[in-house]
Amino acid sequence: MPQATFYFPKGFLWGSATAAYQVEGSNKNCTWSAWEEDPDHILDASRSGLACDWWSGRWREDLDRAANNGQNAHRFSIEWSRLQPTPDTWSEDALDFYRAIARGCHERGLTPIATLHHFGDPIWLAEQGGWENDETPQLFAGYVRKVVEALQPFVDLWVTINEPMLYVYNGYIDGVFPPGRKDLNTGLAVLVNLVRGHALAYKTIHLIQRNGKAGIAHHYRSFRPAHTWLPLDGILANMFHNLLNNTFAQAATTGKLKILTKQVRIPEAAGTQDYIGLNYYTSDLVAFNPLAPAQFFARRYYPKDADLSDTGFIANYPAGMDEAIHWAASFRLPIYITENGIEDADDHLRPQYIIEHIHRIWRKVNNNIPVRGYFHWTLVDNFEWERGWTQRFGLWGLDVDTQTRIRRPSADLYQMICRENGLSSEMVEKFAPQVFEKIFPG
């Protein structure tokens, strides 16, 4: 068997990603805490409860695990509803909590990336109309100012908004996120305000922190025509690509928000990305379906022979990572893979998934595309939004009742990758021998 190692550049960031509401627990001020009061909103009718119990301090042991296993970075988020529990009050305890996490990253040799909005909003903000309210971008900027002033000694890499297009689609079109709306026009209004909120956040960060870097964690989904010989399949695949992948990123580049037949000029958003954050998981086949007007006359599905995750939520399609990085490179900015992972409770597919996707990233880096880091989703099993506890994305498993962490083989694999700053034939042979010849042909 051939023996080789694909090395990454010195200083490459290897980390994992978490989100505040999903790991902290005990949050009663967030739109998600109100949303999960209705068991019909959550797939398994579960509650977040303690989640991973970070609010009481177990973030320390989880970050210890990350650092002890060779990771040199961590992406975490700040929960607006913690920091500003009412319109007129700020919580110094919450500021201290997030300051401690940021400081704790440094103490463990982890470069922190802080996300300012990761799907959750304060309940009081929702009562004022949430992101439908044109005043919300300014309110968001005030919150961002408070965070950056407090955390700037420890954090200089910021994500303003995580997956804004999914926030809009899931909350205002598909209705599976709070507030559960299904109205395209409302979704468009929210999207405009999210772009404005991002632009204000970007400018706020740079006013406070001269050397700070700010970007967006874009959800990139690969869309492929199910039948290359059928023009309608290609048109629909391209439509979904432009709608879900291009819309927000282009607005933050040109200051023009183009969605379907509408265009809104938001000039203050032009040039408001210092890097491209890339969340990539999977790819869809797209076929024309005249019986599905609510889905834009399309059927999206996975190939019959695809390697699927536990619930069929994700198909392993590493070629989509090539597409995602190629797309990100078109913006001519540094790139961070801010999320990538698969739900896999018994860890039978995750090692292969990690290996194949990191190999694809290495190929792009080796072709001088400026990918600066990789953040695996996620460090430990957490509460997966409307899917509750049905999905297990962690390098470490979690017994929700006892809060016991269970080390999975993927944690061993990722440790070897992080410590080696590369992917070796030995790792592939040990953890995913079925793809050895694909990674190391001949």
Confidence of residue 301 (pLDDT cuts 50, 70, 90): very high
The mean pLDDT value for 6-12 works out to 98
Question: To the nearest whole percent, how much of the chain has pLDDT over 90?
Answer: 98
The residue extents of the domains of the chain are 10-417
pLDDT at residue 260, as a whole number: 81
- CA geometry: angle 208, 214, 215, nearest 5 deg: 155
Written as six digits, the tokens of 147 are 């965070």
- CA geometry: angle 220, 225, 226, nearest 5 deg: 120
pLDDT at residue 294, as a whole number: 85
DSSP state of 170: I
Rg of the chain over all Cα atoms, to the nearest angstrom: 21
The answer to whether residue 1 scores a pLDDT higher than 80 is no
Q: What is the pLDDT of residues 131-180, one digit of tens each?
A: 999 999 999 999 999 999 999 999 999 999 999 999 999 999 999 999 99
Q: What is the pLDDT of residues 254-268, one digit of tens each?
A: 999 998 888 999 999
The mean pLDDT value for 284-292 works out to 97
The answer to whether residue 206 scores a pLDDT higher than 80 is yes
The answer to whether residue 2 scores a pLDDT higher than 90 is no
The mean pLDDT value for 62-85 works out to 98
Return d(Cα 351, Cα 412) in angstroms, integer: 10
Task: Name the 3-class secondary structure at 340.
Answer: coil
- If you average pLDDT over every residue of the chain, what do you get? 97
Other C-beta atoms within 10 Å of 402: how many?
A: 7
The mean pLDDT value for 20-48 works out to 97
Looking only at the bridges linking them, the beta strands covering 404-407 and 256-259 are unpaired
Residue with tokens 């391209």: 238
DSSP state of 8: P
CA–centroid distance for 259 within its chain: 22
Q: Does domain 10-417 have CATH number 3.30.365.10?
A: no
Question: Of 162, 92, 157, 151, nearest to 121 (Cα)?
Answer: 162
Return d(Cα 429, Cα 431) in angstroms, integer: 6
For residues 241-271, one letter each, b for 16 or more C-beta atoms within 10 angstroms of the residue's C-beta and e for the rest, the string is bebbbbbbbbbbbebebebeeeebebebbee
Residues 6 or more apart whose Cβ sits within 8 Å of residue 358: 374, 417, 423
Residue with tokens 């971008």: 137
